[in-house]
Amino acid sequence: MKNSKGSLVRPDPLPESVSTPVVTPLSPSVVYASESPDELDSQYEGRVHGYTYSREGHPNADVVAKRLDAMEGAEGGVVTGSGMAAVSAVLMGLLAAGDHVIGGNQLYGRSLRLMKEDLPRMGIATTLADPGDVAAVAAAIRPETRMVLVEVVSNPTLRVADLDGLATLCKARGVLLAVDNTFTTPKSIRPFEHGADIVIHSVTKLLSGHSDVMLGYVVARDPELTEKMRIFAVTAGLTPSPFDCWLAERGMLTFDLRFDRAQATAVALADHLAGLPGVKRVLYPLRSDHPDRDRATALLGTQGCNMVSFELEGGRPQANAFARGAEGLSFAPTLGDVGTTLSHPASSSHRGMTAQERAAVGLSEGFFRVSVGLEEPGALLKVFSEAVAAATAVS
Ligand SMILES: *Cc1c(COP(=O)(O)O)cnc(C)c1O
């Protein structure tokens, strides 16, 4: 039996409606049918817009890209299947064998692995340097250096990159500055306004916000570079699924409110923790005792981030007691979720280092990183008071 459009198998098109849905429709179709070879020519030659095959692009990805473009003050950004897909599109889509790239020495763990293991295997040389020290980055530049890749606020010690200094340096030396803005988000800082050439996001984190989507985004100031990354992403299959894009868009509708709430609670939590017996130190970029406070204020204004790190007195027994005592919070290695999550670098992200190596970067057994969520602030502070008290009760 044929349907009314003549298809032997496929269902009828959706019923017509003069009213329109208020929610973006989900379009899981992998393929899009064109009318004729002439029409396909028009599509490929850009005279009309039309989708062909969803690895090359689909409506749900484009809706998310547009929203992120507007937030970053950019155009034509590429949505990818994860944050690491976006980082890979930058490094593998733009660099070639013989090039050299400098990475921040506290990049996200998998970005560090790309720098240390995978790029060298492909003939791309890498160096790590402190993104807060422009002179150190300058000293690492070679004639073949093509790019510097940094995060605005680093994980988990929350140090702040000297973005303005790096932008001046990179411009003078003809090097691209790529900035991973995942922790800070465009609510805190728009890296293009500080001279960045490329902006990267793990949309998985605060932007989607519910820990049910993996997604990434990347865009360059120069449309030719964005196009190169798009082509690489399509070829390497870094494309996102329509459903993940649909969920991400749903999350992004409330991003503004979620960020404000989590950020304000993070400020309160940092101050609260600093007053608790048994807490050795607290790290929050906008606190007066943070080593990068002035730079954080200049770059981020009053919107810091939702991340707070702190160090408990004692060692593993105290850390165990704290994690067990933090009732209602997830001890889980992610960030940006609606619920507060705790991570413990010594047993997770930094477990590959020796205790001495960790001590050198200030990551003892008592060090925790907190991604502040949307709990009622008073109730959240109470959980922390009780969990720290449980830790100090351990001898
Ligand atoms: C999580 C994260 C990534 C990787 O993103 P995924 O979506 O997990 O692939 C990259 N950079 C930073 C700063 C991150 O926090």
Q: pLDDT (tens digit, 9 = 90+) per residue, 85-96?
A: 999 999 999 999
Does the annotation mark 280 as catalytic?
no
Q: Which of 106, 114, 182 to mutate to test the pocket of ligand 1 (most atoms within 8 A of CB)?
A: 182
CA of 336 to the centre of ligand 1 (A): 11
What is the residue with the minimal CA distance to atom 8 of ligand 1? 83
Regarding the domain delimited by 57-252, which CATH topology (the fold level of the hierarchy) does it fall under?
A: Aspartate Aminotransferase; domain 2 (3.40.640)
SS3 state of residue 193? helix
Structure tokens at 348: 């997770």
- Give the residue among 289, 270, 266, 292 at the shortest CA–CA distance from 279: 270
Please give the full DSSP string across 218-285, using - where no structure is assigned: EEESSHHHHHHHHHHHHHHT-PPPHHHHHHHHHHHTTHHHHHHHHHHHHHHHHHHHHTSTTEEEEE-T
pLDDT band at 395 (very low <50, low <70, confident <90, very high): confident
Average pLDDT over residues 89-113: 96
Does the pLDDT of residue 213 top 80, yes or no?
yes
Catalytic residue among 108, 190, 292, 358: 108
Which amino acid is residue 83, in one-letter code? Answer: G
Residue 209 CA to ligand 1 center (angstroms) comes to 13
The residue-averaged pLDDT of 13-25 equals: 94
Residue whose Cα lies nearest atom 2 of ligand 1: it is 202
Torsion of CA 17, 20, 22, 27, to 10 degrees: 70
Task: Determine whether 108 is an active site residue.
Answer: yes
Query: For 23, left (φ over 0), alpha (ψ -120 to 50), or beta?
Result: beta
Domain boundaries, the chain: 57-252, 255-392
pLDDT of residue 12: 85
Nearest to 287 by CA among 303, 305, 270: 270
Residues 6+ apart with CB under 8 A from 61: 79, 239, 240, 242, 245
Q: Are 318 and 305 in contact (CB under 8 A)?
A: no
3-state secondary structure 222-238: CHHHHHHHHHHHHHHCC
Q: What value does the mean pLDDT take over residues 316-344?
A: 95
Ligand 1 binding residues, C-beta < 6 A: 82-84, 87, 108, 111, 151, 180, 182-183, 202, 204-205, 214, 216
Tell me what pLDDT residue 361 has: 84
Question: Does residue 113 carry a catalytic annotation?
Answer: no
* CA of 84, closest atom in ligand 1: 9
What is the pLDDT at residue 73? 98
The Cα-based distances of 11 to 2, 14, 58, 254 in angstroms read: 9, 9, 20, 35
Q: Give CA angle at 81 (79, 85), nearest 5°.
A: 90
Q: What confidence tens digit (pLDDT) does each residue in 158-179 have?
A: 999 999 999 999 999 999 999 9
DSSP state of 336: S
Query: Packing angle between helix 316-325 and helix 377-392, nearest 10 degrees?
Result: 150
Band of the pLDDT at 11, cuts 50, 70, 90? confident
- Please provide residue 44's backbone torsions phi and psi, each rounded to the nearest 5 degrees: -65, -30
> Could you read off the pLDDT of 260-290 as tens digits, one per residue?
999 999 999 999 999 999 999 999 999 999 9
Q: Does residue 6 have a pLDDT over 70? A: no
In this structure, the strands spanning 198-202 and 145-151 are unpaired
Mean pLDDT score across all residues of the chain? 95
| β 176-180/198-202 pair status | parallel
CATH of domain 255-392: 3.90.1150.10
Q: How far is the CA of 361 from the centre of ligand 1 (A)?
A: 21
Q: Which of 187, 205, 261, 295 is catalytic?
A: 205
Q: If 0-12 CB within 10 Å is exposed, 13-18 middle and 19+ buried, where does residue 336 land?
A: buried
pLDDT value for 383: 98
In the reported structure, the alpha carbon of residue 182 is separated from the centroid of ligand 1 by a whole-number distance in angstroms of: 7
134 C-beta neighbours (distance < 10 Å), count: 19
pLDDT at 4: 62
**What is the distance in A from the centroid of ligand 1 to the CA of 386?**
31
For the whole model, what pTM was predicted?
0.96
% of residues, the chain, pLDDT over 90: 90
Mutate to test the pocket of ligand 1, among 105, 106, 110, 348 (most ligand atoms within 8 A of CB): 110
Query: Would you state the pLDDT for residue 3?
Result: 63
- Ligand 1 centroid – CA 51 distance (Å): 29
CB 152 within 8 A of CB 183: yes
Of residues 130, 162, 180, 337, which has the active-site annotation?
180
Question: 333 CA to middle of ligand 1, Å?
Answer: 11
Residue 268: the pLDDT is 98
Give the integer Cα–Cα distance in Å for 352 and 109. 11
Closest residue by Cα to atom 1, ligand 1, is: 202
Is 205 one of the annotated active-site residues of the chain?
A: yes
pLDDT band at residue 349 using 50, 70 and 90 as cut-offs: confident
Q: Where are the alpha helices (DSSP H) in the chain?
A: 37-44, 59-72, 83-94, 109-113, 119-121, 134-140, 163-173, 185-188, 223-236, 242-252, 255-274, 293-300, 316-325, 355-360, 377-392
List the single range of 163-167, 226-230, 332-336 with lowest mean pLDDT. 332-336
Q: Is 55 helix (H, G, I), strand (E, B) or coil?
A: helix
* Residue the block writes with tokens 């990159």: 161
